[in-house]
Amino acid sequence: MTITEISARLKRIVEDQFGFVRLRGELSGVKRAASGHIYLALKDDQAVIDGVMWRGNAGRLGFLPEDGIEVVASGKLTTYPGRSKYQIVIDSMEVAGEGALLALLEKTRQRLAAEGLFGEARKQPLPFIPRVIGVVTSPTGAVIRDILHRLSDRFPSHVLVWPVLVQGRGSAEQVAAAVRGFAAIMPGGPVPRPDLVIVARGGGSIEDLWGFNEESVVRAIAECPIPVISAVGHETDTTLADFAADRRAPTPTAAAEIAVPVRTELLLAVEDLALRQKRAAPRPVMLGRERLQARVQRLPRAEALLQPQAQKLDDLAERLRRGLSDRATQARARLMADQARLIPSMLGHRMVRAQDRLTSARLIPGLLSARAQREQERFAALERLYLSLDPKAPLQRGYVLVRGAHGALLRSCAAAAKEPVLGIEFADGMLDVVPARSKPPSTSPATPRTAGSRGSAGRQEDLFG
């Protein structure tokens, strides 16, 4: 049998045995061709079957087929001899419920979000111009070529590629190990430490991208001390790695654009700044010169400033000349008036009148003696008052003044007891004495004394009595 013959027999057997089937499964890899046909895969937890829905039946669908939607598809099984594959040709399809993978993905997302792995506070700013960029992706796919090409066009950088599997068994462990490996590189070692890490993969179904939803990958990205850009799938694809990364890129090419700026634009910006600096440096001088010229034009001329003062000086000089002339005229007039008074006859007449006034003025002795007597009595009263108030006058009658060590007058026994030396002032001099300790007064009744008697227990007489 030829290959075509056996393929045809297999096709007839499959279509006869499974001419009508209803399958329940989760949509994956849904693609709508330009012709309007829909190509997809139905899967459960253990198997996958390809499917196709022709344009006529696809136009009657009441919902938009998307990855992860659990559906019930009705149709027939057939084979595709060109690839030795079997598939289901779907006539009708309806939603059966939320896909198991999407439900698991949502539960995992909520649990990790509750731990704070997706919080904005954990996000790190990306370096403006990273010197070394680490890329975690497959070394043989188109992703790494797109990234290298885009980096070369924008800003050539040193790129380190950590090759990993991006789908299938073991892909999540390799991606997590690669991210942690980049973080473990020590600065200054033989391998340069990346300033930025890009985790990239091309588009695919939710099953193909499932490795980037694994918890190990999410935790490795969240704990990485180096800023991480997630570029997994196309713009519509979303994985948990996108939530944990510091920045999400819709495509790997966009990740390269986010990672570095455009070198030519930076050079143009630097040149523009240099030109602006060159123009701005003399600008203050030019502005100052313009302002100075404007102010000079507004300033009045020197002769205009001095004209009022010169006019005032001329006015004062004229007033001074006239004042001196008037003063001389007035002095001359007074001199002429006094000259008439200096005539000998006038002087003789004035002298005769003065002699007459002197002759008529007589001094009465009684008035002078009365005034002298009043002044003498006033001075005698002042002398008696002075003698009565003199504190040293009683010293002539036997009294003394007690002074302290510094010459201060003491007026109490308590004050005298505190002094180390007492000065006793008599009428004829001073005597220094040392005070003895006072003794307590005797309890025996004192002998009464007469008011006029003097003794150690008697009271001192009035100094002015």
Looking at residues 50-55, what average pLDDT do you find? Answer: 92
Single pTM value for the model: 0.47
Written as six digits, the tokens of 108 are 């995992």
Q: Do residue 28 and residue 166 come from a single domain?
A: no
Looking at 264, 284, 314, which one is the last position of a domain?
Answer: 264
- Higher-pLDDT residue of 450 and 65 is 65
Evaluate whether residue 354 is within a structural domain.
no
Does the CA dihedral 184-194-167-165 come out positive or negative?
negative
Q: How far is it, in rounded angstroms, from Cα 16 to Cα 10?
A: 10
Q: Do residue 34 and residue 61 come from a single domain?
A: yes
Evaluate whether residue 331 is within a structural domain.
no
- Higher-pLDDT residue of 302 and 41 is 41
Q: Do residue 165 and residue 250 come from a single domain?
A: yes
Q: Please measure the distance between the N-terminal and C-terminal CA atoms of the chain and give it in whole angstroms.
A: 173
Q: Mean pLDDT of all residues in the chain?
A: 84
Q: How far is it, in rounded angstroms, from Cα 325 to Cα 329?
A: 6
In 3D space, the residue among 57, 42, 50 whose CA is nearest the CA of residue 101 turns out to be 42
Residue 342 burial (C-beta neighbours within 10 Å; 0-12, 13-18, 19+): exposed
* Per-residue pLDDT, 285: 87
Q: Do residue 208 and residue 115 come from a single domain?
A: yes
* pLDDT at position 449 over 80: no
How many domains in the chain?
Answer: 3
Q: Do residue 233 and residue 177 come from a single domain?
A: yes
Q: How far is it, in rounded angstroms, from Cα 406 to Cα 433?
A: 14
* Per-residue pLDDT, 101: 65
Confidence bin at 458 (pLDDT 50/70/90): very low
Q: Do residue 170 and residue 36 come from a single domain?
A: no
With a CB cutoff of 8 Å and minimum separation 6, the contacts of 438 are 413, 417
What is the percentage of the chain residues whose pLDDT exceeds 90? Answer: 33
* Per-residue pLDDT, 194: 95
Q: Which of 186-195, 301-310, 343-352 has the highest mean pLDDT?
A: 186-195
Q: How far is it, in rounded angstroms, from Cα 86 to Cα 47?
A: 13
Domain range enclosing 35: 3-100
- Assign 343 to helix, strand or coil: coil
* Per-residue pLDDT, 444: 45
CATH number at residue 161: 3.40.50.2300
Q: How far is it, in rounded angstroms, from Cα 93 to Cα 58?
A: 9
* Per-residue pLDDT, 279: 85
CB 385 within 8 A of CB 378: no
Evaluate whether residue 289 is within a structural domain.
no
* pLDDT at position 455 over 50: no
Evaluate whether residue 171 is within a structural domain.
yes
Looking at 239, 264, 289, which one is the last position of a domain?
Answer: 264
- Higher-pLDDT residue of 81 and 251 is 251
Q: Do residue 92 and residue 157 come from a single domain?
A: no
* pLDDT at position 438 over 70: no
Evaluate whether residue 302 is within a structural domain.
no
Evaluate whether residue 41 is within a structural domain.
yes
CB 20 within 8 A of CB 76: yes
Q: How far is it, in rounded angstroms, from Cα 114 to Cα 32?
A: 37
Looking at 264, 292, 308, which one is the last position of a domain?
Answer: 264
What separation in angstroms does the CA of 312 have from each of 318, 324, 325, 374, 417? 10, 18, 20, 69, 86
User: Per residue in 200-243, pLDDT tens?
Assistant: 998 887 778 888 988 899 999 999 999 999 999 888 888 999 99
* pLDDT at position 6 over 70: yes
Q: Do residue 252 and residue 149 come from a single domain?
A: yes
Burial track 262-294 (b if 16+ CB lie within 10 A, e otherwise) = eeeeeeeeeeeeeeeeeeeeeeeeeeeeeeeee
* Per-residue pLDDT, 52: 93
Evaluate whether residue 175 is within a structural domain.
yes
Per-residue three-class SS string for 178-231:
HHHHHHHCCCCCCCCCCCEEEEEECCCCCCCCHHHHCHHHHHHHHHCCCCEEEE
User: Per residue in 341-377, pLDDT tens?
Assistant: 667 777 778 888 888 887 776 666 777 788 888 888 8
Q: Do residue 145 and residue 259 come from a single domain?
A: yes
Burial track 383-413 (b if 16+ CB lie within 10 A, e otherwise) = eeeeeeeeeeebbeeebebbbbeeeeebeee
Q: Do residue 190 and residue 149 come from a single domain?
A: yes
Evaluate whether residue 95 is within a structural domain.
yes
Q: How far is it, in rounded angstroms, from Cα 76 to Cα 53?
A: 11
CATH number at residue 67: 2.40.50.140
Q: Do residue 65 and residue 179 come from a single domain?
A: no
Q: Do residue 234 and residue 208 come from a single domain?
A: yes
DSSP-based helix, strand, coil % in the chain, nearest 5: 45, 20, 35
